[in-house]
Amino acid sequence: MRVDIIVKELLNNGFYVYDGFLQGQALSALQESSASVLGDIIDSDYKFGKAARIGSLEDNRLKNPSISGAFESIELDQIRDIIFKDSCNFTEIFLTHEFTNSRGPERNGFLHFDRIWTFKYLYYLSDVEGPEHGPLQVVPASHHTGAMLRTRQYGKPYEDQDNRIRINYPEIYEDIRDSIKPIFAKAGTLIMFNTDTFHMGGNVTGKNERKVCRLHMR
């Protein structure tokens, strides 16, 4: 059963790449709905292009059903049931269209783990076929170390928690730097990952772009 394979990969490696999960009309509808939402943004403060935080899965079932529906299927529901065991109480959908890298990296542009554990679903809405398209990058099986580093900071203020590997944990970075894996894939590919996994966004260069739709759950 494919669900069993996916969950095993998530537990062992911290991420799973589902090539071509969304295709045809379902992919076109997600792309068009995402473009429509971002097209309404006139002045974005997102330094790499345009971005929108559009609410929960439940919010979007009525206002953006093509977006919420991309994250709801028998297969994805089964994966969620195993990962969360009915304990998920937060969902939020994000859209980004990145087309510039002229303003320097944000915090998430450094290899990191999230300071608040989250399970993420990330759709490529455009083809990401080379470094110039800014691929998501991950370190396989790093989620065990990430969980240890995150949990030992319990009690510290959020802004004081150290989560950037190269800056805060240089010895660890030297050990894993050659294991950083860029994820190149076509539009419609769904990437699932545990945010204790070391990860970072790539830089979009030249006249290229990267379009993404993400669901965060915890």
Q: What topology does CATH give the domain 2-217?
A: Jelly Rolls (2.60.120)
Q: Give the 3-state secondary structure percentages of the chain, helix then strand then coil, rounded to 5.
A: 40, 25, 40
In terms of phi and psi (left: phi > 0; alpha: psi -120 to 50; beta: otherwise), the region of 9 is alpha
pLDDT given at position 112: 98
Looking at residue 86, what is its pLDDT? 72
Q: Write down the pTM of the prediction.
A: 0.94
Can you give the residue ranges of every domain in the chain?
2-217
Which pLDDT score is estimated for 100?
A: 72
Local mean pLDDT, 10-residue blocks, the chain (218 residues): 93 97 98 96 77 96 97 95 87 93 66 97 98 97 98 96 97 98 98 98 92 97
